[in-house]
Amino acid sequence: MERGPSDTEPERCDICEDERQYVPTSGQAWATLAGLEAEGRSVQVSPVVERMWFVGADDVGIGQQAVLVQTADGNLLFDPPGLIDDASVERVRELGGVAAVVASHPHMYGAQSAWSAAFDDAPVWIAETDRQWVGRWVPAMRTWSEPFEVLPGIWLHQVGGHFKGSTVALWSDPPSLGRGVLLAGDAIFPVADGGVTFLRSYPNRIPLSAGVVRRIADHVGGWEYDHLFNNFGAGIGPGADLTVQRSADRYVAWVSGSNDHLT
C-alpha cells in the first residue's frame, strides 16, 4: 500500500496483516520507488493484442501485471503495478498516455498515485466500499459505487467477493478478441484446467461461500465476452463467459456439499 513522504518506516502494514495476505516469517520489509529503481528493478511494457498491453514489474511486490487498454478517447491503466520508472512512462506516453487509473481491489493499489501524477493527474477511481484501504489519498482520487463507463466502451462494475469492492472492467469492443474482454483482477481467477475460481484469500486458500460465488456469476452472467484476463497476465478464452458460468457451478457444487459423497 502507498505511503506519504516520511523519514521513518511505518510501524505496520495493515493490508499485509489482513487475513487475505500474510507477513513472512522474516517480518515486514518496506521499500521506496527510488530504492527499487536503484536496485535495478524496472517496468516492462509488452504487447498482448491490438490496443492492449501488459505493464508490470515481475519482481516487485506480488508481481501484478497491469493492463493498458487503448481507446480513441484515452487509455485505461487497470491494476497499476507497484513500480514506475522513466522508461515505462515514456513508453506509455508513446501509446497515448493514461486517461484513467483503476485498481481492481486494494492489493493492486500499488503506485497508483505516482502513475496518475505522471499523466497530468489522471483520475484514480476507488471503490467507495474499499476506501479505508487507501494508504495515501491524493486529489486525483475519486470514489464510485454504481457501474459506469470509465472510458467509451469500457464499463466498471463492482462484483465483490475477494473484497467488497472488487472491480471488473468489461471492454465491449476489442478489435481482435471477439465479443469482448473482461479484466477480472482477483475476483474471477484463471486456473490450470482452463476454468476459473473464486477465493477470499489466494495465498491462504480461504474460500468464498456458495451464495457469494453464485452472486458473482449472476452479476456477470448477462454479459458477452470471449476472453478474460486476471492481474498476473493469465487469461482464458475464447468462450470465457460460458467458462465462468460452468466454473461457478462446479465451485458451488463443492462448497455447498452436493459432492460430499465423492469425498
Alpha helices in 61-129 (DSSP H): 86-94, 112-118
pLDDT-based confidence at 9, cuts 50/70/90? confident
Which pLDDT does position 79 carry in this prediction?
96
Residue 6 pLDDT exceeds 80: no
In this prediction, residue 139 carries a pLDDT of: 96
Nearby residues of 15 by Cβ (< 8 Å), 6 or more positions away = 1, 21, 106, 107, 133, 135
Which pLDDT does position 70 carry in this prediction? 96
Q: pLDDT confidence of 34, banded at 50, 70, 90?
A: confident
Angle 72-77-78 (CA atoms, 0-180°, nearest 5)?
A: 120
Task: Look at residue 30 in the predicted model and tell me its pLDDT.
Answer: 83
**pLDDT of residue 109 exceeding 80:** yes
pLDDT at 14: 87
Query: Quick one: cell of 174?
Result: 476489442
Nearest to 166 by CA among 75, 113, 230, 115: 230
Amino acid 45: pLDDT: 95
Q: 138 or 6, which is more confident?
A: 138
Query: Which amino acid, 170?
Result: L
pTM: predicted TM-score of the whole model, two decimal places: 0.94
φ, ψ at 54 (rounded to 5°): -95, 140
Say which residue the cell 487509455 belongs to: 75
**All domains of the chain in start order, with CATH:** 14-262 (3.60.15.10)
User: How far is the C-alpha of 126 from the C-alpha of 145, rounded, in Å?
Assistant: 9
**Residue 3 above 80 pLDDT?**
no
Between 60 and 127, the higher pLDDT residue: 127
Reported as a pLDDT band with limits 50, 70 and 90, residue 12 is confident
Q: What are the tens digits of pLDDT across the range 96-105? A: 999 999 999 9
Q: Work out whether strand 196-197 and strand 189-190 pair parallel, antiparallel, or are unpaired.
A: antiparallel
pLDDT at residue 5 tops 80: no
Cα gap 99→226, rounded to integer Å: 25
User: Measured between alpha carbons, how far is 24 from 114 in angstroms, rounded to an integer?
Assistant: 27
Per-residue pLDDT of 111-132, as tens digits, reads: 899 999 999 999 999 999 999 9
> Where is 75: in which H helix or E strand?
strand 74-78
- DSSP designation for 32: -
CA nearest to 252, candidates 209, 190, 191? 209
3-state secondary structure of 92: helix
